[in-house]
Amino acid sequence: MSTDVNVKMEALAGVDPDALPLQVKDLHVEFRTRNGIAHAVNGVSFDLRAGETRAILGESGCGKSVTAQAIMGILDTPPGFITGGEILYRGVDLLKLPESERRKVRANRIAMIFQDALSALNPVFTVGFQLAELFRKHRGMSRQDAKARAVELLDLVKIPAAKQRVNDYPHQFSGGMRQRVMIAMALALDPEVLIADEPTTALDVTVQAQIMALLAELQRERNMGLVLITHDMGVVADVADRISVMYAGRVIEEAGVNDIYASPAHPYTKGLLESIPRLDLKGHELSAIKGLPPMLTNIPPGCAFNPRCGYAQEVCRKDPAPPLYQVSPSRTAACHFWKEVKGDE
Amino acid sequence: MSDVVLETRDLVKHFPLTRGIVFKKQYGAVQAVDGVNLQLRRGETLGIVGESGCGKSTLARLLVGLETPTSGDLFVQGKNMSNVGAEERRRGRRNIQLVMQDPYTSLNPRMTVGDIIGEPFEVHPDVLPKGKRRARVQELLDLVGLNPDHITRYPHQFSGGQRQRIGIARALALNPEIILCDEPVSALDVSIQAQVINLLEKLQKELGLSYIFIAHDLSVVRHIADRVAVMYLGKIIEIGTEDEIYDNPTHPYTQALLSAVPVPDPKLRGHRDQIVLTGDVPSPANPPSGCRFRTRCWKAQDICAEQVPLLEVRDSSGHPSACHFAEVRDVVHASE
């Protein structure tokens, strides 16, 4: 293992080991489509410490997956273009690196797992081959050694009879097992940051519990930073340390997990929390958020949430959009009326 | 007439597995639904929960008549649908309509919203004369909270939540008594999900509908259902009122299922009694002998492999559960 680390540190110039493993600063991404420019990400910033779990919470179309793709450098270009901002890995701006350097970061230092493991794995190769390929390409191992490491990895993610299963194809695994293979693949090169894009959305609850427990265990063992992208407020409450809530391509609230659930400071966060049915509370009225999220080609001026918001005043309908106000030393919210929303207790 | 609007007795659906093309030989069967007894009362909501592959969607298809049962009986308003004539069966189906999961694939992209919602009248022309249909479709659009002027639009011009409303309007067209919702909100975002759930509850109150609500999301089912049935590998393993199932579950599978649902409250982190099951659901083509859950159950004894536990009341909890060792365990700690 120690030799692996040396290989990693050699490969990338300018790495400051004391800097944060991941910092996103004012990221802008747009999609140039026939129907106009879709502003998918409009100034997203967040930090990730080693060993920390950062949840990015939002509904479909809020830009959370695009942010992940931009970090990984797997954005489809065209139509997607990163038009501004920085993505720093230990002080190195990944957006300024040439593709050959970028490859050294991908999977090595920042790895990703996807929602749908069946379409993320190649159906015509065995999972063993796909895992071994990582070691062969990135570490220059021989076929035999790489295969042995693949078996070790499947063992690590608790796939029974790993020695035999290594020769199976993705379709021969169940959904939960496939997600385990994905996790094995992401962890193969011992990354410092793992981005998990809706890792359990396609799974049943009992399997979801298994996968989340496995992720937490592996994260603790390796002191790995985890960016968890999800829309599930339950999962977030269970595992996250800090949360960034996204709406229409912006982070509209950023806080520690307890603050957000106890006293949301943005009307959207508040609306989300009030609109979910809960297992442990019965008979409470679901107060739905009225209306629909905006089209990304046509985001309303001012605060993007204003047409759906009960607090909205004239100031909310005018540009510029509300800045991130400092609600407390450790939390921010992009609402002019955060004091009213939060209520002072 | 009793107030039971829908009943199944020992409903079974096995899908045969065959080998060979000319000389077909059956070598097994996928036991998708295996002996289900259910009763739906007027005006109530019966929730059916279970993980993927437990047979809940096959059950839905059986109930609306999209599949014919291998054996067993289905009664719609007291009439046994398996031994009535084709005409009567067609009439019976009017009373039970389906809202499907995916609002993107369940609406024909080439039909206008008016044609989609009006299509049930083509199949059942005697319900409403042609001249009145357009007005009825507009009335339905209004009922589900859509603009009646959008009758000439196409599905792609609507968002996911709005499409699901169109699906609901279509299901309501023939004035059914029973609506069967197969995962009606699982494809929707949370903020939209609440809108659709509130709409379903409003419609139930206004029109006196009975719902069968199939979902894998236990929180949604708790919110909407009066009674809940839990399915595992084609069988109902526990059934009771919403309080009985959520507050006093007696079957180990129900307990594990409930304990696995994350609760959106970080203060409960680490304080929940979480049961993490090992392994996967066995194949329904080759289910375990005896109790089907025994391969993943921490309580399993020899008797579980030998005897199929019946769905019956075993202890003081007062609701039926199919476990030899049924006992209450509080896994959802009610907050506030």
Chain segment B296-328, per-residue pLDDT in tens: 899 888 999 999 999 888 877 789 999 998 888
Q: Please report, rounded to a whole number, the percentage of residues in chain A having pLDDT higher than 70.
A: 95
DSSP at A99: H
**Domain extent listing, chain B:** 4-252, 253-336
Mean predicted confidence (pLDDT) in B10-27: 86
CA distance A281 to A96: 49
Does the beta-carbon distance from B335 to A280 stay under 8 Å? yes
Average confidence (pLDDT) over B174-184: 91
Query: Residue A190's pLDDT is what?
Result: 87
Percentage of chain A beyond pLDDT 90 is 34
In this prediction, residues A193-220 reach a mean pLDDT of: 87
**Predicted confidence (pLDDT) at residue B333 exceeds the cutoff of 70:** no
pLDDT at B326: 86
Residue A10 has pLDDT above 50, yes or no: no
pLDDT for the residue B190: 83
As beta bridge partners, residue A111 has A194
pLDDT of B336 reads: 43
pLDDT, residue B335, reads 52
Question: Which tops the pLDDT comparison, A226 or A10?
Answer: A226
Whether residue B80 is predicted with pLDDT greater than 50 in this model: the reply is: yes
Query: Domain for residue A88, yes or no?
Result: no
A-B interface: how many C-beta pairs under 8 angstroms?
140
Mean pLDDT across the stretch A28-32?
92
Across the range B232-255, mean pLDDT stands at: 91
User: How close A235 gets to chain B, by Cα (Å)?
Assistant: 6
**pTM of structure:** 0.84
- Per the listing, tokens 């060979």 go with B20
Does residue B87 carry a pLDDT above 60?
A: yes
**From A211-215, A303-307, B150-154, B272-276, the region with the lowest mean pLDDT:** B272-276
Nearest C-alpha in A relative to B262: A234
- Is the per-residue pLDDT at A250 higher than 60? yes
Q: Residue A4 pLDDT more than 80?
A: no
Classify B4-252 by CATH class: alpha beta
Taking contacts as CB-CB distances below 8 angstroms, the residues of chain B near A258 are 266-267
Q: Does the pLDDT value for residue A206 go beyond 50?
A: yes
Residue B238 has pLDDT above 90, yes or no: yes
Q: Measured between CA atoms, how close is B9 to chain A, in angstroms?
A: 28
Instruction: Note whether A279 contacts B332, CB cutoff 8 Å.
Output: yes
Over residues A299-322, mean pLDDT = 89
Closest residue, chain B, to A273 (C-alpha)? B264
Inspect the interface and report whether the beta carbons of A280 and B52 lie closer than 8 Å: no
Determine whether the interchain pair B262/A176 forms a contact, defined as Cβ–Cβ distance below 8 Å: no
Nearest CA in chain A to B199: A288
List CB contacts (< 8 A) between B218 and chain A.
205, 279
Overall number of domains in chain A = 1
Q: What's the whole-number mean pLDDT along residues B111-135?
A: 91
Q: Is A51 domain-assigned? A: no
Q: For A208, which residue in chain B has the nearest alpha carbon?
A: B260
Supply the pLDDT for residue B262.
84
| Residue B126: per-residue pLDDT | 87
The reply to whether residue A232 touches residue B262, judged by beta carbons under 8 angstroms, is yes
- Closest partner residue to A271 (CB to CB) among B191, B335, B336 is B191
Instruction: Tell me the average pLDDT across B248-259.
Output: 91
Chain A positions touching B146 (Cβ under 8 A) are: none
For B39-55, what is each residue's pLDDT tens digit? 999 999 999 998 888 88
What's the gap in Å between the CA of B74 and the closest CA on chain A?
A: 29
B273 has pLDDT over 80: no
Q: Does A171 fall in a domain? A: no
Q: Please report the pLDDT score of residue B3 as a whole number.
A: 86
Give the one of B194, B256, B280 whose C-beta lies nearest to A286's C-beta. Answer: B194
More confident residue, B317 or A271: A271
Q: Provide the token pair at A91.
A: 């002080």
With bands split at pLDDT 50, 70 and 90, how would you rate the model's confidence at A284?
A: low
Residue B277: closest CA among chain A residues belongs to which residue? A206
Mean pLDDT of chain B: 88
Tally Cβ neighbours within 10 Å of residue B109.
9
Segments forming the whole domain that contains residue A296: 243-277+285-345
- Residue A6 is predicted with a pLDDT of 41
Task: Reply yes or no on whether the pLDDT at A199 is more than 90.
Answer: no
Per-residue confidence (pLDDT) for residue A281, from 0 to 100: 67
Please write down the HEC assignment for all residues of chain B: CCCEEEEEEEEEEEEEEEECCCCCEEEEEEEEEEEEEEEEECCCEEEEECCCCCCHHHHHHHHHCCCCCCEEEEEECCEEHHHCCHHHHHHHHHCEEEECCCCCCCCCCCCCHHHHHHHHHHHCCCCCCHHHHHHHHHHHHHHCCCCHHHHHCCHHHCCHHHHHHHHHHHHHCCCCCEEEEECCCCCCCHHHHHHHHHHHHHHHHHHCCEEEEEECCHHHHHHHCCEEEEEECCEEEEEEEHHHHHHCCCCHHHHHHHHHCCCCCHHHCCCCCCCCCCCCCCCCCCCCCCCCCHHHCCCCCHHHHHCCCCCECCCCCCCCECCCCCCCCCCCCCCC
Query: Do A192 and A107 meet the contact criterion of CB atoms below 8 Å apart?
Result: no
pLDDT-based confidence at residue A344 (cuts at 50, 70, 90): low
The average pLDDT across A36-40 equals: 88
